Structure formats: C-alpha cells, structure tokens
Amino acid sequence: MLAGPTASGKSAVALRLASMTGGEVVTVDSMQIYRGLDIGTAKPGPGERGEAPHHLLDVVEPDAPFDTGRFRMLALEVVQAILNRGRLPVLCGGTGLYFKALLYGLDAMPRGEGTLRAELEGTPLPELVAELRSRDPAASARIDLANPRRVQRAVELLRLTGRPLEDSRRCWGSVPDRVSGMVLLLERDRADLAARIDRRVEQMFASGLVEETRGLLARGLGGNRTAMQAIGYRQVVEHLGGERDLAATVACVKQRTRQLARRQMTWFRHQLPCRPVPVEREERAELTARRILKIWSEELGGAGSRAAGGGRRAPGTVPGSEAKENH
C-alpha cells in the first residue's frame, strides 16, 4: 500500500510499481471516485490507465452519495479479483480514512438522523465549533474546523452517542475481512512539496479547471456536500459566484492544498503503521519504485517483487488469499 500527501508523486510511483510487477492499481482516493472530477483531482488519464489497469476511478456521478463503507466493500472485491488473476494489487492514494477502513475494518458509528442533521446544517459553523471544542477537545484538535461537513458530523456523533469521537471508534478492527500489508508513506521535503503543489495547481487552471467546474455544476456538483469539499472545485465555485477574482482563487487553492498536505502527513503518521520512504527532489518515479520493491523484498521476504518469485502474501492482500505467480 502506497500512501502520501497530495502532489507527492505517489500516483506515478504506483504506476511504475504496477508496470514492473505486472500489477494493477487500486485508487484509494475519496474524490477520484467521482466521474468528471478529473483535472482538480489529478486523476490518471488514458495514457496512465493504458500502462496498467486502474480501479475505483469514476465510480459514481458527481451528484451521487458515496461513503467509506461503500468504498471498503468495492475495494475488497477489487483486491480479491486482482489476486484471483494472479496479479499484485497496488493500493495507492491519500485518503487516510479509506486506508484505515481497509486495514482495520469499519466501526459501528451510528448513521445520521434526518432531523438532527438538518438542524446541524442550519446552525452557524462557529457555534458547532464551540460545541465541539467544549465537549470533545481532542476531536476538535484533529479535524479541519473550517470544513462544515466534518464539524457537523463530529457534533452529530457527539449528540447521538454522548461520547467523545475516539471512544466511539474503539471497535475499529472488529471485522475480519480486511486488507493486510505494509503502508509505505512517501515523504518529501516541505519546500519541495510546496513547490510541486504550486506547479500542479497552476497546471490545473491552465488545463481548464474553471471550465470543468462549470460543467460539473450543471451535472449536480453543487448539491453533493462531499464532492464539494474537493479542494480546487470549491474555490472555483466561489470564484464563479463572484467571491474572488481568478488570481486570488489560484492563490487560495495553493494555500488550501498545502494545508491539506500537512494534515494528510500528520494523519498518516499518527493513525496508520507507516514505513516512511523519503523521496529526493527531482527523483524519478522509477527509482522510487525500485527502492520500494527492495523494501518489500527485504521486509516481506520477496513478496513485493514478482520478479524475485517470492511466495509469501503480497502487500495489500486479503488475509487467507495468496498471490499467484505472474509469468
């Protein structure tokens, strides 16, 4: 499993890994599952998909609901199917909660209740933040307090369970059918990552992010609270609504993306058993992939390298399922 913050180069490395091992990429990304959210999510294009099969891209329309439970179910099915074909699943993405659901299973969090959710949606964000800070300081320190959906869900769980969020998550891992494997975390120097983020954002706007967002709004993007949290799209929607000019929007997206990258790294380091993989500035994806294959070979007895002919379970496999050799 390959994790990392946005713009760290993980997709290119995953593609090289899949090409080198005869594997298939399983995308672990909460926004790339939406059809049409292409430019703003840096979704792999036809060229990359032609080099190696990619799964869990373009799963639902931008106005459709999608949650962690559905992702987990689909991902487990895809991983098992890849293993049944005798190939290596390379799970890659930046959505930490999805990785955690695959590794440990899902908790028994209560589903939202319509009346309460409507009440929370109608409550000013500062009031919800104040309630969360008062009742669950630990949760308020971890989540993005500028994200209305995250704050609403945290307060909703507090009111439904009467317990701090972490107490409600004690039962993570109770589901036996889950993915097993090493999580390799790409780490870049902060200045290097910031520069990569800035270049990516500029390229997204040059490639037509504003036009793509206009089209998505016509397809119902504005009505999907989850998809509207995607950095880039949300800011462009605000730009189209007259909140800021284009130059200020580009700067805002850069800033929000850098903030997201920092939160992602903090989450991965504290929530998952990650093996850091430092990546040098200008290091080619192929070199990073070869280093990762060496790590897999050394730490998993060769399971990470098909060429080595290892017979142990490959990283990111379902317990009880053995990866067949791919000749």
Residue 68: per-residue pLDDT: 84
One DSSP character per residue, 82-111 reads HHHTT--EEEEES-HHHHHHHHH----PPP
3-class secondary-structure state, position 3 = strand
- CA angle 143/147/149 to nearest 5° reads 95
| pLDDT given for residue 307 in this prediction | 36
CA distance 25 to 20: 12
Q: How far is the CA of 115 from the CAs of 6, 48, 54, 132, 158, in angstroms? A: 36, 45, 39, 19, 15
Locate 156 and state its tokens. Answer: 């909703």
Q: Report the CATH fold assignment for 2-107+173-299.
A: Rossmann fold (3.40.50)
3-state secondary structure of 317: strand
Sequential pLDDT tens for the chain (327 residues): 999 999 999 999 999 999 999 999 999 999 999 999 999 999 999 999 999 999 999 999 988 888 888 898 899 999 999 999 999 999 999 999 999 989 888 765 555 556 787 888 889 999 999 999 998 898 888 888 988 888 988 888 888 767 777 766 554 444 446 677 789 999 999 999 999 999 999 999 999 999 999 999 999 988 888 888 899 999 999 999 999 999 999 999 999 999 999 999 999 999 888 999 999 999 999 999 999 999 988 876 544 444 333 333 444 444 333 333 333
Provide the whole-model pTM: 0.74
Which residues have C-beta within 8 Å of that of residue 327, sequence separation ≥ 6?
none
3-state secondary structure (DSSP) of residue 190:
helix
- The domain locations on the chain are 2-107+173-299, 114-168
**CB under 8 Å to 295, separation ≥6 — which residues?**
182, 184, 275, 277, 304
Whether 295 contacts 184, CB under 8 Å:
yes
The 3-state DSSP class for residue 264 equals: helix
Closest alpha carbon to 250 in 212, 199, 215: 199
Q: What are phi and psi of 54, to 5 degrees?
A: -120, 140
DSSP β-ladder status, 183-187 and 274-278: parallel
Q: To the nearest 10°, the Cα dihedral for 261, 15, 230, 149?
A: -80
Q: According to CATH, what is the number of the domain 114-168? A: 1.10.20.140
CB 123 within 8 A of CB 148: no
Which amino acid is residue 26, in one-letter code?
V
Whether residue 28 contacts residue 185, with contact meaning beta carbons closer than 8 Å, is answered with no
